[in-house]
Amino acid sequence: MREVVRFCATDGAFERDPYPTFSTLHRRNQVLFDPDLGAFFFGRHAEVDSILRDEDFTTAALESSAQPVMGGRVLAQMEGREHHLKRRLVQSVFTGRAFRDRYGTVIEDITRRLLRDCIRQRSFDLVGDFGSRYGVLVSLAILDLPADRWRDISAWHCGIAAFVTSLRMTEEVRTHGLECSRLMRAYLTEAIQARDQSDVASPLSVFFGNQDAEVVMPMSEVVALVLNVLLAATEPADKALSYLFYHLISDGGQLQRVRENRSLLTGAVRETLRLTSPVQLIPRQTRRSMTFFGQDLPAGSRVFAMVGCANRDPSVFEDASRFNIDRFLSGGARAAVMHQTTSIAFGAGMHACVGAAFAKMQLELAANIILDDFSDLGLRPDFRLTERGVYTRGPVALDLEFTPAAASGPSCAHRGS
């Protein structure tokens, strides 16, 4: 038997500084149990990886934690043929050459336009002045949804995300989340009805199924799927981008290296997602009673896989709490394989994030333009990093100073790759 340690995931101390808890879990053979939530928390890399790959850990918890605001089941709740077909559909729309050709410049344009407002100031907040707008605008763009109501959509998104990611739901969060969900779904239904049906390559057309489609969804399922994509693409975007720049700037040597050799950005993005994973927890529920890594778990136990903790496990990552942009790149092909088997930022197993490639592309596109537009970037001297969230987690703000680039227009050093 291993040691079960009482834990309160929602007491504020863990949210402020989870890192001592992480390192205790790495050092000792412990599992955390939050009696208030009735949930076990596993944080070692091997445990988290097993939970996510083992089908005896189900996603049934999402029925109460997500479905009420998603208006239907999300991909992660599906199994078998339905899961296979719908996942493949989403994958086909948001990956590949055609996707990059269609949306790459759209994402770049959004980034440039938002940065223009930031450049007018001497300093700006990469989260509040840029990232939160950027996240929702890009999500709307890749779904071919109009951008004019982005402020409402951003507010509804926050209410829905708070519902999905709250560990202990207050009545206020519940009511507000359900109201945001109602407004969001009404809006999406209308926007989807008004879509350009002649654009057969649009994600919305593809979701409705072309002539010989294997999967034909009614409106309610399309709305749920669109909301699933919208939420999953928006919620982590500003968090990942601001963490990336926080790490790069805090370690100025690496910022300079990336500036001069943009191909290093891929590794920097991956390393950011490992060191500060924007999605820290993934909920599961045991299908049957079992003994898991020495821990007895009754059937129906609530379990959280601590992704962010696993990604700092020193038995897997050398110098695990250091931001090392070469971690996944040195070693060529071997490193690429290593990365897939070691960082769990996008989950693992059959429900691993279907948008992982898109997320990395989006982050790289935006980061390249930010580096182009700001010839020097620094943290404002009075800035102190404050992170918020135990489920999804990110900097509350990132106050940056800069000297505007002398040349107008982007440099082309890294283009054409």
**Tokens 């918890």 -> residue:** 61
Q: Which residues, at least 6 apart from 180, have a Cβ–Cβ distance to it below 8 Å?
A: 69, 155, 156, 157, 158, 159, 160, 163
Size, binding site for ligand 2IO by CB under 6 A? 13
Residue 348 makes contact with ligand 2IO by CB under 6 A: no
Give the length of the chain: 417
Q: Which stretch binds ligand 2IO (CB under 6 A): 112-120, 231-239, 296-304, 313-321?
A: 231-239
Considering only 235, 238, 373, 387, the residue that binds ligand 2IO (CB under 6 A) is: 235
CB 188 within 8 A of CB 170: no
Rounded Cα gap, residues 181 and 161, in angstroms: 10
> Which residue's CB is nearer to ligand 2IO, number 329 or number 348?
348
CB 94 within 8 A of CB 86: no
Residue 76 makes contact with ligand 2IO by CB under 6 A: yes
Residue 329 makes contact with ligand 2IO by CB under 6 A: no
Residue 398 makes contact with ligand 2IO by CB under 6 A: no
Considering only 93, 142, 145, 164, the residue that binds ligand 2IO (CB under 6 A) is: 164
> Which residue's CB is nearer to ligand 2IO, number 93 or number 232?
232
Residue (of 279, 277, 301) closest to 289 by Cα position: 301
Rounded Cα gap, residues 50 and 40, in angstroms: 15
Cα 398 from chain centre: 18
Question: How crowded is residue 200: how many other Cβ atoms within 10 Å of its Cβ?
Answer: 11
Min dist CB 59 to ligand 2IO, Å, is 8
Q: Which strands make up the sheet holding 374-379, listed edge to edge?
A: 123-125, 399-404, 374-379
Residue 273 makes contact with ligand 2IO by CB under 6 A: no
Rounded Cα gap, residues 392 and 239, in angstroms: 9
Question: How crowded is residue 350: how many other Cβ atoms within 10 Å of its Cβ?
Answer: 15
Residue 231 makes contact with ligand 2IO by CB under 6 A: yes
Considering only 228, 254, 277, 286, the residue that binds ligand 2IO (CB under 6 A) is: 228
DSSP structural state of residue 287: S
Min dist CB 332 to ligand 2IO, Å, is 30
Residue (of 313, 302, 304) closest to 281 by Cα position: 304
Rounded Cα gap, residues 161 and 153, in angstroms: 12
**Judging by beta carbons within 10 Å of its beta carbon (0-12, 13-18, 19+), is residue 304 exposed, middle or buried?**
buried
Residue 160 makes contact with ligand 2IO by CB under 6 A: no
- C-alpha radius of gyration, the chain, whole number: 21
Considering only 21, 286, 343, 392, the residue that binds ligand 2IO (CB under 6 A) is: 392
Residue 138 makes contact with ligand 2IO by CB under 6 A: no
Min dist CB 147 to ligand 2IO, Å, is 20
> Which residue's CB is nearer to ligand 2IO, number 165 or number 324?
165
Min dist CB 300 to ligand 2IO, Å, is 20
281-320 binders of ligand 2IO (CB under 6 A): 282
Considering only 31, 66, 143, 348, the residue that binds ligand 2IO (CB under 6 A) is: 66
Q: Which stretch binds ligand 2IO (CB under 6 A): 19-27, 117-125, 176-184, 227-235?
A: 227-235
> Which residue's CB is nearer to ligand 2IO, number 165 or number 311?
165
The site for ligand 2IO (CB under 6 A) is made up of: 62, 66, 74, 76, 164-165, 228, 231-232, 235, 279, 282, 392
